[in-house]
Homo-oligomer: A and B are copies of this chain.
Amino acid sequence: MTQTAAALRREVPAAGTITDNDAAVLDPAVLGELLLGKWASVRRTARELAGRPEVHKIEGLTSAEHRSRCFDQLHYLVKNQAVHRAFPTSLGGHDDHGGNVAGFEELVVADPSLQIKAGVQWGLFGAAVLHLGTEEHHEAWLPGIMNMEIPGCFAMTETGHGSDVASIATTAVYSPEDESFTLNTPFRAAWKDYIGNAAVDGRAAVVFAQLITLGVNHGVHAFYVELRDADGAFLPGIGGEDDGLKGGLNGIDNGRLHFENVRVPRTHLLNRYGSVAPDGTYSSPIASPGRRFFTMLGTLVQGRVSLDGAAVAVSKLALKTAITYASERRQFNASSDLSEEVILDYQRHQRRLLPRLAATYAASFAHEELLEKFDGVFSGTSDTDADRQDLETLAAAYKPLSTWLALDTLQECREACGGAGFLTENRFTSLRADMDVYATFEGDNNVLLQLVAKRLLTDYAREFKGMDFGVLARYAVSQAAGRTVHRSGLRRVVQTVVDTGSEKKSAIALRDEATQHGLLSDRVGTMVAELAGALRGAGTLPQAKAAALFNEHQHELIETARAHAELLQWEAFTAALHRVEEPGTRQVLTWLRDLFGLCLLERNLAWYLMNGRLSSQRARTLTPYINRLLAKLRPHALDLVEAFGYGPEHLRAAIATGAEKQRQDEADAHARAVRASSGSPIEEKTLLARQAEQAKTRGKSSPRKARQVPEKSSA
């Protein structure tokens, strides 16, 4: 615990009536260890590195300077052995996939550009060679990729096709005559676009193209392609341009690439999942082109996993800064003439920050489960088809929630710190600008949630194979069929609690864990069942009609996926909570989990009411109960952000250094000095109050009455 945090906490008044329970004190060290999770040691090492000035973002650099700095930093990461954990032990790595991602995502606190540029080099370009290539590719290129001799690109996205990879139009046509592929970009929309390292640094690229041999298109495959010569000039047939300035992440040289009759040796096809023999014969260990495509893309899920983790880390940073400031900053003196309130004592301020704190905890615990799942699949310890599908679904569910949460949290924290929040030195705006694109890259959030919804529907259909969907939907709605749909949730859902408003059931409080779970899972189950009913028979309709039917439910589909993802987060939070033995910590964490769960209920309260899951009477108690939880949690807010384990070298925000407290103390000392020198009695009044009092004694009312006036200020 930092001294400042300890000092400030002592100043915090206890909220409401004190009972034994309410007097709980949490141990930030215990909680911190829980948050660090399975790869605690890797995280500690990575955070030590991320705290060094060498890797920090310098604000205000030109784009060229920032790019150059990030490029140099990649060499620094190599030198400090920070980025090779996932590579084969035989090549100097550790075959440690989970640890690798854990280490990567901590880089975001140094500079998101660095995280992503490192991710391009080792997590996308290197990982594509590793996972899509075979041993001779590994030997040929991985050493150079690992040590940065070959800075490279992951050239998948095209200007005309972002989220629809299967439709990319770059072609690689095989010619048996010279045993090579010829790469072509048929038109402008088929240029590779938004490609990291493409504008300047990339010497080579893994290029995704439609593989055509003997006149047959075998779909999207990956090719290792040399891009530039030693002087950095494009090789013949290759062209490109700079994507230019972006809303953030300007340390990365994103660019466009196009190909005109570029010859690529047959052996440069990364052929783990599809090979072309010298005579042009295509073969693959996976017969179905669709399955092959998904398998190839599936090896790249780690991008989403690490974005999820990075987004969680950034939310933690933002909340630590904003909550520290809110515990020091005073504004308005509603409750006393003598001193102003600390802004975190205002209910609205608590409402703005604490539910986001709860959501960040939920996302953090959920991410840890995702990372373990990822490690299981990639280490081979739990690597069935079902495991891989679950991993894909989980990543697709969590990454949208955590990246949106980070943006929302950064913005609310920035506003909650007022004008100070807008200064770059306090980092909210800079981090927000960088994190913005996390919502759409490595899978657009809305598209990812659709995938989750489809998986839910598939599981649902599988469970009730052969049955009529319409009947099912009615059954599910009336019976609360939550139980049936959570295969992809990795665990079964307990019996749903339906609050019918009856007296007996009314006794179940909303803060009850089983009630929360029942309500959340019931909603998911019912939404899935209703969707399944609505989409019943879509498969037998003509394509256009099926698409129209599907489109009419697209919004619902995505909302269903979100509800599912939130349920999974709630479950992860609860599972983590159950591992805490220290009673004070467990108590506070339980309140925080309740806050998370009840805010989810509050946000979807209309659904619970319309569907008869909550009575109006019960529903009315929700918001007041949330308000009481806020007051309960408020004294623990500093401990809860301290448990995140980020120090000043990570925050690097002027307003989180105690500067505000120093200013407040100085103002107070000044007032005391004035009182002392003017010989007034030792009353706890500020200079201004004294002046106001003087005004009053002269029969004029004080301007202090004119309080709570918003500024008309300074632009």
B713 touches A194 (CB 8 A): yes
B419 touches A436 (CB 8 A): no
Whole-angstrom distance between the alpha carbons of A243 and B670 in the complex?
A: 24
Whole-angstrom distance between the alpha carbons of A629 and B331 in the complex?
A: 45
Residue A591 lies at the interface, judged by CB distance under 8 Å to chain B: no
B422 touches A705 (CB 8 A): no
Using C-beta atoms within 8 Å of the partner chain, give the interface range for chain A: 35 or more
Closest B residue, CB atoms, query A697: B216
Q: Which of A684-704 contact B (CB under 8 A)?
A: 687-688, 691-692, 694-695, 698, 700-704
Whole-angstrom distance between the alpha carbons of A666 and B186 in the complex?
A: 10
Residue interface mask A183-225, B partner, CB < 8 A = 1: 0001111101111100000000000001010011111100000
Residue A414 lies at the interface, judged by CB distance under 8 Å to chain B: yes
Most buried by B among A196, A332, A428: A332
Closest B residue, CB atoms, query A212: B691
B246 touches A423 (CB 8 A): yes
A164 touches B709 (CB 8 A): yes
- Closest Cβ–Cβ distance, residue A417 to chain B (whole Å): 9
A160 touches B667 (CB 8 A): yes
Stretch at the interface among A471-479, A509-517, A543-551: A543-551
Q: Which of A141-174 contact B (CB under 8 A)?
A: 154-157, 159-167, 169
Contacts known (A167-B707, A715-B116); A418 close to B218, Cβ less than 8 A:
no
Whole-angstrom distance between the alpha carbons of A705 and B442 in the complex?
A: 21
B247 touches A428 (CB 8 A): yes
Residue A575 lies at the interface, judged by CB distance under 8 Å to chain B: no
Closest B residue, CB atoms, query A611: B616
Closest B residue, CB atoms, query A408: B411
Residue A378 lies at the interface, judged by CB distance under 8 Å to chain B: no
Whole-angstrom distance between the alpha carbons of A220 and B705 in the complex?
A: 12
| Copies, count | 2
B440 touches A156 (CB 8 A): no
Closest B residue, CB atoms, query A289: B703
Residue A19 lies at the interface, judged by CB distance under 8 Å to chain B: no
Find chain B residues with CB under 8 A from A119 CB.
715
Whole-angstrom distance between the alpha carbons of A317 and B425 in the complex?
A: 30
A407 touches B411 (CB 8 A): yes
Residue A178 lies at the interface, judged by CB distance under 8 Å to chain B: no
Residue A63 lies at the interface, judged by CB distance under 8 Å to chain B: yes
Stretch at the interface among A1-9, A264-272, A292-300, A359-367: A292-300
B712 touches A303 (CB 8 A): yes
Find chain B residues with CB under 8 A from A190 CB.
667
B714 touches A218 (CB 8 A): no
- Given known contacts A219-B706, A348-B558, what 16 new A-B pairs fall within 8 Å (CB)? A117-B715, A155-B714, A160-B330, A169-B688, A194-B419, A216-B691, A217-B695, A243-B423, A254-B715, A289-B706, A293-B703, A294-B706, A334-B547, A347-B554, A450-B708, A555-B627
Ordered by A's residue number, 15 sampled pairs between the chains whose C-beta atoms are within 8 Å are: A156-B713, A162-B713, A163-B711, A187-B663, A190-B667, A196-B715, A216-B700, A217-B692, A246-B422, A247-B429, A288-B701, A294-B706, A421-B440, A429-B433, A610-B620
